[in-house]
Amino acid sequence: MRPIIDIDHISKRYGSGTAALNDVSLQIAEGEILALLGPNGAGKTTLISIICGLVVPTEGTVRVGGHDIRSDWRAARKLIGLVPQEIALEPFEKVIDCVRFTRGLYGEPPDEPYLESLLRSLALWDKRDAKTRELSGGMKRRVLIAKALSHRPKVLFLDEPTAGVDVTLRREMWSVVRELRAQGVTIILTTHYLEEAEDMADRIGVINRGALLLVKPKDELMGEFGKKRLTIALDAPLAALPAGLAGRGLVLSADGRELGYDYDTRAERTGIAHLLADLAGHGLAVRDVSTKESSLEEIFMSLVEEETA
Ligand SMILES: Nc1ncnc2c1ncn2[C@@H]1O[C@H](COP(=O)(O)OP(=O)(O)OP(=O)(O)O)[C@@H](O)[C@H]1O
């Protein structure tokens, strides 16, 4: 299937000389949720701004729905909605007027039934006549989403949608995003909250210092880099690891009460059964065992650190 977004060898050097993106290529399929992760200044906003036609790339091309964003910008831009990082709303304007106005900017004729369903789906219909300055921060963010969706785009960009938003509102935003995806909207979000990417994205792209380090389906990424740590609580503390157990990858905790063992979740044989038998063979009584999977946060940190090293 033809991708809805086709980014081909994009580079961007700002006038100041900063190389913000370096030869980035990426295809995004219709209907997917892609999360772009990366530390501050990695180039995420620059990439989104290029696709949305707000920043001109130094090299490379981008097509949205088959339309080149430069030579065919009008058609490309109609397919896109952008929810910016910063909340910028006209304080004295009514919610409904704000959304109507944005729709008009795209050259779309009025469609009140659509705007009603949009505001209802974002739980803003009751607030349609409120001035935007009277709204809570979470509602203001939802108004930004309503504006971005006012012309029925096929692709929605969310640049840090939940930055500075509390946990309840964050979850509310996630459910809005899931609903949009169920309606077939392709969603590209940037986030600093790895939990958010872990919870929502179909695919995850990691950007660092202007380069796309990888893009993978989330499950594959978690499987490939994911390790599990087995923690074995001992009945009696050990002063040192018995010599016969050396070289098995076991790590004794400082208080001597626990043994840690990292293993690959994808390995056919994890060696755990043997390990436990060996412990018993050395006279160690096990009180409890528990496992913990490495989180996306740990995977992300190891990728970025590896690259910086
Ligand atoms: N208009 C600009 N002029 C000059 N340099 C810029 C401009 N916009 C961004 N940069 C630089 O380009 C690099 C990438 O910035 P960008 O905003 O794309 O990163 P980001 O990944 O979105 O960061 P954050 O997570 O902090 O929002 C940074 O070094 C930044 O200072």
Is 187 within the bounds of a domain? yes
Residues 51 and 134 in one domain: yes
Give ∠ CA 211-213-216 in degrees, rounded to 5. 135
Is 125 within the bounds of a domain? yes
Give ∠ CA 163-165-171 in degrees, rounded to 5. 105
Checking ipTM against 0.90, whether it exceeds it is yes
The CATH number covering residue 93 comes to 3.40.50.300
What does the block give as tokens for 268? Answer: 């056919």
* φ, ψ (nearest 5 deg) of residue 6: -125, 105
Pocket test for ligand 1, best of 11, 12, 13, 45 (most atoms within 8 A of CB): 45
Residues 249 and 233 in one domain: yes
Question: How much is the pLDDT for 102?
Answer: 92
Residues 117 and 258 in one domain: no
Residues 212 and 237 in one domain: no
Mean pLDDT, range 284-309, rounded to an integer: 75
Whether 267 shows a pLDDT value over 80: the answer reads no
| pLDDT band with cut points at 50, 70 and 90 for residue 268 | low
* Helix residue ranges, H only, the chain: 44-51, 73-78, 95-105, 112-121, 137-148, 167-182, 194-200, 218-225, 272-281, 296-308
The verdict on the CB of residue 168 being under 6 Å from ligand 1 is no
Cα 141 to chain centroid distance, Å, stands at: 18
Alpha-carbon distance of 102 to 147, in angstroms, equals 6
The verdict on the CB of residue 308 being under 6 Å from ligand 1 is no
Judged by average pLDDT, the poorest of 129-133, 204-208, 265-269 is: 265-269
Whether 259 shows a pLDDT value over 90: the answer reads yes
Is 154 within the bounds of a domain? yes
Is 305 within the bounds of a domain? no
Ligand 1 centroid–CA 14 distance in Å is: 9
What does the block give as tokens for 173? Answer: 């935003």
Is 145 within the bounds of a domain? yes
Question: How much is the pLDDT for 292?
Answer: 78
Residues 85 and 124 in one domain: yes
Encode pLDDT of 148-192 as tens digits. 999 999 999 998 877 767 777 777 778 888 888 888 999 999 887
Whether 258 shows a pLDDT value over 70: the answer reads yes
Residues 231 and 190 in one domain: no
Specify the residue with its C-alpha closest to ligand 1, atom 6.
14
Q: How many domains does the chain have?
A: 2
The CATH number covering residue 289 comes to 3.30.70
Encode pLDDT of 184-213 as tens digits. 999 999 887 777 788 889 999 989 889 998
Is 303 within the bounds of a domain? no
Which atom from ligand 1 is nearest to the alpha carbon of 16?
A: 4
Residues 145 and 69 in one domain: yes
Whether 226 shows a pLDDT value over 70: the answer reads no
Question: How much is the pLDDT for 121?
Answer: 84
Is 306 within the bounds of a domain? no
| pLDDT band with cut points at 50, 70 and 90 for residue 143 | very high
User: Which H/E stretch holds residue 60?
Assistant: strand 59-64
What does the block give as tokens for 161? Answer: 């949608």
Q: Could you report how far apart the first and last alpha carbons of the chain are, in Å?
A: 38
The verdict on the CB of residue 49 being under 6 Å from ligand 1 is no
Is 116 within the bounds of a domain? yes
Residues 55 and 165 in one domain: yes
Residues 55 and 134 in one domain: yes
Pocket test for ligand 1, best of 11, 36, 40 (most atoms within 8 A of CB): 40
The verdict on the CB of residue 20 being under 6 Å from ligand 1 is yes
Ligand 1 centroid–CA 45 distance in Å is: 7
Whether 126 shows a pLDDT value over 80: the answer reads yes
Residues 74 and 163 in one domain: yes
The residue behind tokens 């040192």 is 240
Residues 151 and 278 in one domain: no
Give ∠ CA 285-286-287 in degrees, rounded to 5. 120
The parent domain of residue 264 ranges over 227-293
Q: Which of 174, 191, 223 is the last residue of a domain?
A: 223
Give ∠ CA 112-116-118 in degrees, rounded to 5. 115
The verdict on the CB of residue 45 being under 6 Å from ligand 1 is yes
Residues 126 and 54 in one domain: yes
* Helix residue ranges, H only, 258-295: 272-281
Specify the residue with its C-alpha closest to ligand 1, atom 25.
40
What does the block give as tokens for 143? Answer: 């108004």
